[in-house]
Every structure is written in C-alpha cells, then in structure tokens.
Amino acid sequence: MLEDEIVEEIHRIREEYAQSFNYNLDAIFADLQKQQVESGWEIVKLPPKQSLTKRWSRRGKNSQ
C-alpha cells in the first residue's frame, strides 16, 4: 500500500496528543474547547441539517 508522509505525520501527531491526555476523551474535549475559546475565532452555530429521509420521502413531507 502507498504510504503518504502527510497522513503518517497527522496520525503521529494525533497519537501523541491523545497520549498526552492518557487517552481520556473528556480531558481531550476540554482541551479542545479551551483552545477554541483562546483562539479568538468567532464560533458559528448552524442549525442541524434536515435529514435526507425527511427531505426526500413522501412520508417525511406528510408528517410535518
């Protein structure tokens, strides 16, 4: 299989990051939220997308 150096680097960085939090998802999530706040970027919350079933089926149209 063809190896991609960029993908390998991303996997290595992700592994090191997770390991630094002892693979604790709550701690990783808290750190990502902290980074998001500290970034200063505006956070945009979009409404949930309409499901494909609801969008394309007759049953979805009639049930509204």
In a domain, 14, yes or no: yes
CA distance 16 to 23: 10
In a domain, 29, yes or no: yes
Pairwise pLDDT comparison (37 vs 62), residue with the higher score:
37
In a domain, 49, yes or no: no
Residue-wise pLDDT tens digits, 3-41: 899 999 999 999 999 999 999 999 999 999 999 999 999
Query: Of 5, 32, 4, whose CA–CA distance to 17 is shortest?
Result: 32
In a domain, 61, yes or no: no
Pairwise pLDDT comparison (43 vs 58), residue with the higher score:
43
In a domain, 55, yes or no: no
In a domain, 48, yes or no: no
Domain count, the chain: 1
In a domain, 52, yes or no: no
Note down the domain range covering 20: 1-41
Q: What pLDDT, on the 0 to 100 scale, is given for residue 4?
A: 92
Task: Please state the pTM of the whole predicted model.
Answer: 0.61
